[in-house]
Amino acid sequence: MSKLSEQSIIHNEPKGFGTAPVFFTAISTILGAIVFLRFGFAVGTLGLLGTIFIVILGHAITIPTALAISEIATNLKVEGGGEYFIMSRSFGLNIGATIGIALFMSQAVSVAFYVIAFTEAFDPLFKMFAGHFGYELPRQVVSIPAMALLAVLMLTKGANMGVKALYVVVAILFFSLLMFFIGTTDYSAAIDRTSLFNDFRNGDQFFLVFAIVFPAFTGMTAGVGLSGDLRKPRRSIPLGTTTATFIGLIIYFFVIYKLAISASPEDLTNNQLIMSDIAIMGSWIVPVGLAASTISSALGSIMVAPRTLQALALDRAFPAKKINFFLAKGLPGSQEPRNASIIVIIIAFVFVVLGDVNAVAQIISMFFMVTYGSLNLISFLNHFGADPSYRPSFKSRWYFSLIGFVLSVWLMFKMDTAYAAGSIAIMVLLYLYVDHYHKDRKGLETLFKGALFQLNRNLHVFLQKSKKTLSGDSWRPSAVCVSKDSFKREEAFDLLTWISHNHGFGTYIHLIEGYFSKSNYNKAKEILDELIKKSEKKRSNVYIDTIISPSYTSAIAQIIQLPGISGMENNMVIFEYFRDKPENLPQIIDNFNLVKSGNYDVCILGSSVRRVNKKNGIHVWISSADAENANLMILLSYIIIEHPAWRKSEIKIFSIAKEAEKSVVEKNLLMLIDSGRLPISPANVQIIPRNEDESRRKLINHESKDAGLTIIGFRAEQLNHDGEALFGGYDDLGDILFVNAHDNKSIS
């Protein structure tokens, strides 16, 4: 079965969930079993200050991860599979499937982990039974029926019922926490609270306790797994995930403080249900709250794990077509992952029957660490690579992502070196296996692609400025400009500086007309040194060189054959002339067809003596007659405006259309801006009705007379027909960038 037909199994149906399920799935897992069963032990062992450090350290991973997920989710059209979908579309399907399989197993075993923890809520009943009959019942008498009921619920009612049940158990969970917070003890009345904030003991056990408590920090991404069932995942994932993470952090601090002031270290360490001695009606409200927290976490995991497995199968992560088809298939209408849910339930039942998942829980923690580290690494590499196609509407910071990645790796080995090494070994073997039967798909090479482009550019510029040398899939400009007037006009160099600041690459070449000789060679070296010094003052990332050639045309012919300094071929040539004295404009026109024969985009910068304020922004004029230029013009405006020189300016888009076509043109432009995640306000899109009595040039002169830069498209036929006249008639404007695209650029 083809991938396309497999995807149609799940992705053609309307999706109904809003932000609330994301938030409640995450918060219920955040405030899960560990809060009730292990926070008291942590406070008793390390003291208030030590436990606060644990929470801060845990959130030094989870907060950057929540921000990274939110960022990546607003850059991708997120479909089913949550974290797996994000990683596979960022790292490539092979490495994404490797992490996804490990993530799925963690989620599936987590169901069993939470169900077994659920049985601890019945500890008073187990003790009562043992006291009356002298026999301790195995925990499976509760965990197996609980798992069975959970399985029946998911198989018969699906995620809709799961979400409804989630609301109920979360309400019970918060009520039990409220009773805990307002409860009092004799110990709390006598304790000196000021001394608690100096209480940090048993430092040698810090990472042991951290490993025990860490599952509490794995819940914030739980809601992301519902991505395929969300109406607006770009909105719901960032809002639900970040809100749950920060609210959970605040509640953690209050729980820790309440425990520290309410019971002695001995009681906290030895009584895992110490919260029941503190809360009002604690003998039953805390077990009920524990039951609610664990069953809500189990619900979250049992809703998310099948969706991860289903997404893996849709991407043909498994070697057999029949297996992929079976696991990808959903129920008619709702596309509920029934078959994937059956597999999750079987796995969970196996571990529930075993009854002890402590060792497995450590592996789960390791794989969650791998997932969090991977998500942070994706965010960091996208920031570092500065791919123009990476335009998330929610933005984190690269250093947050780097901190999250480094801490994830470091803490894996601090928690348990053997388990960390074992987890990494399993991941390597999984990758080799997946890569073996999917040799046609991109693997690890996609991981650092953008970063290598950026690193390559920075290394070239660094080596040049330090005088140690004198010499994709998504579109980005790699522009080259040749000029004889480097010391007369700086506008072309400035344009290259703006383009190459973050997203693109620029090569500026000064032309020395003449034959190659010793004197011209020495002259070229001197000019190069001067230009490099100018570049350093401007803090430019443009690569600079000189060329000695007998004519302007021969220089152009040489330059368009030069390899790009970025590791990718040059794809754009920039010409420049002075509009008040366009002496070299005929040369540009004569060489236009020569450049176009190399499939280059062509930009012709007409500079002006006028000093125009950049705060007035960039004006882009789009015409239906040269629609092929439109996307390149918009992308260039976006890339230029990212430079600090344009920081306080905006992009304005103008289009001239017939009155009957205005609404359609405006709708198409707004859709283009929205799908491209471009920072252009709808208010800055202006459709001007076409008036046969008023020329296009007159309109542009009127609307853009104060613009910092005006971008206008042109066609090759126009240039061949009109010649120099094509660039005339814009007397009221400042600098103008005339653009001719080789092909239509993708902007989504």
In this structure, are 101 and 228 located in the same domain? yes
- What DSSP letter does each residue of 491-524 carry, written as one string? HHHHHHHHHTTTT-EEEEEEEEES---HHHHHHH
Does residue 465 have a pLDDT over 70?
no
Alpha helices in 74-139 (DSSP H): 83-91, 93-118, 123-133
| Average confidence score pLDDT of the chain | 81
pLDDT in tens, 86-100: 777 766 777 778 878
So what's the pLDDT on residue 471? 40
Sheet bearing 651-657, strands edge to edge: 543-549, 505-513, 478-483, 572-578, 601-607, 736-740, 709-713, 618-622, 651-657, 685-689
Final residue belonging to a domain, choices 600, 629, 650? 600
In this structure, are 591 and 612 located in the same domain? no
Rounded distance between C-alpha atoms, residue 260 and residue 235, angstroms: 38
- CATH number of domain containing 660: 3.40.50.620
In this structure, are 147 and 214 located in the same domain? yes
CA 47 to chain centre: 37
DSSP class of residue 620 equals: E
Does residue 299 have a pLDDT over 90?
no
In this structure, are 221 and 355 located in the same domain? yes
Tokens of 338: 């029934």
Rounded distance between C-alpha atoms, residue 720 and residue 336, angstroms: 60
CB neighbour list of residue 491: distance below 8 Å, 6 or more residues apart: 576, 605, 607, 735
In this structure, are 39 and 94 located in the same domain? yes
Question: For residue 698, which amino acid is it?
Answer: K
In this structure, are 62 and 150 located in the same domain? yes
pLDDT in tens, 569-623: 788 999 999 988 888 899 999 999 999 888 899 999 998 887 777 888 999 998 8
Q: Has residue 693 been placed in a domain? A: yes
User: What's the total number of domains in the chain?
Assistant: 3
Which residue from 298, 370, 294, 369 is spatially nearest to 58, judged by alpha carbons? Answer: 369
In this structure, are 481 and 594 located in the same domain? yes
Q: Has residue 628 been placed in a domain? A: yes
Give the largest Cα separation in the chain, rounded: 107
- CATH number of domain containing 524: 3.40.50
Q: Which helix (H) or strand (E) holds 356?
A: none
pLDDT in tens, 179-204: 999 998 888 877 777 777 777 888 88
pLDDT in tens, 22-55: 888 788 778 877 888 889 999 999 999 999 999 9
In this structure, are 381 and 506 located in the same domain? no
Rounded distance between C-alpha atoms, residue 107 and residue 120, angstroms: 21
Final residue belonging to a domain, choices 444, 470, 494? 444
So what's the pLDDT on residue 604? 94
Tokens of 309: 């497995």
How far is residue 559 from each of residues 183, 569, 598, 683, 736, measured CA to CA in Å?
Answer: 79, 12, 11, 41, 24
Higher pLDDT, 225 or 474: 474
Percentage with pLDDT > 90 across the chain: 16
In this structure, are 419 and 272 located in the same domain? yes
So what's the pLDDT on residue 420? 83
CA 261 to chain centre: 41
Does residue 730 have a pLDDT over 80?
yes
Q: State in Å, rounded, how far the first CA of the chain is from the last one.
A: 28
Three-state SS string over 560-576 comes to CCCCCCCCCCCCEEEEE
Q: Which residue has the tokens 């910068």?
A: 605
Q: Has residue 508 been placed in a domain? A: yes
In this structure, are 437 and 454 located in the same domain? no
Percentage with pLDDT > 70 across the chain: 86
Rounded distance between C-alpha atoms, residue 647 and residue 641, angstroms: 7
Q: Has residue 233 been placed in a domain? A: yes
CB neighbour list of residue 530: distance below 8 Å, 6 or more residues apart: 487
Final residue belonging to a domain, choices 536, 569, 600? 600
So what's the pLDDT on residue 2? 43
Structural contact between residues 282 and 183, judged by C-beta atoms closer than 8 angstroms: yes
DSSP class of residue 200 equals: -
Q: Which helix (H) or strand (E) holds 311?
A: helix 282-314
Query: Rg (Cα) of the chain, in Å, rounded?
Result: 32
Q: Which residues pair with 574 in a beta bridge?
A: 481, 603
The reported pTM is 0.63
In this structure, are 638 and 499 located in the same domain? no
pLDDT in tens, 357-389: 555 566 667 777 887 888 788 788 777 766 676
So what's the pLDDT on residue 582? 87
- Angle subtended by helix axes 282-314 and 93-118, to nearest 10: 160
Q: Under DSSP, is residue 647 helix (H, G, I), strand (E, B) or coil?
A: coil
Q: Has residue 331 been placed in a domain? A: no
At residue 472 the predicted structure's pLDDT band, cuts being 50, 70 and 90, is: very low
CB neighbour list of residue 152: distance below 8 Å, 6 or more residues apart: none
Rounded distance between C-alpha atoms, residue 64 and residue 59, angstroms: 8
Structural contact between residues 150 and 115, judged by C-beta atoms closer than 8 angstroms: yes
Tokens of 30: 């955040």
Q: Has residue 12 been placed in a domain? A: no
Q: Hey, how many other C-beta atoms are within 10 angstroms of the C-beta on 463? A: 14
Rounded distance between C-alpha atoms, residue 532 and residue 120, angstroms: 70
So what's the pLDDT on residue 38? 85
Q: 716 is in which domain, residue-wise?
A: 608-748
In this structure, are 562 and 623 located in the same domain? no
Burial of 271 (0-12, 13-18, 19+ CB in 10 A): middle
Rounded distance between C-alpha atoms, residue 737 and residue 596, angstroms: 17
Does residue 454 have a pLDDT over 80?
no
Q: Has residue 320 been placed in a domain? A: no
The dihedral over CA atoms of 42, 44, 46, 50, expressed in degrees to the nearest 10, equals 70
Which residue from 623, 622, 645, 613 is spatially nearest to 734, judged by alpha carbons? Answer: 613
Tokens of 132: 């009356």
Tokens of 83: 């974290």
Does residue 469 have a pLDDT over 60?
no
Which residue from 196, 193, 208, 191 is spatially nearest to 48, judged by alpha carbons? Answer: 196
Q: Has residue 64 been placed in a domain? A: yes
- Residue 333: left if φ>0, alpha if ψ -120 to 50, beta else—which one? left
Q: Hey, how many other C-beta atoms are within 10 angstroms of the C-beta on 138? A: 11
Burial of 742 (0-12, 13-18, 19+ CB in 10 A): middle
Q: Count CA atoms closer than 13 A to 86's CA, side-chain side.
A: 31
How far is residue 135 from each of residues 118, 131, 143, 146, measured CA to CA in Å?
Answer: 21, 8, 18, 22
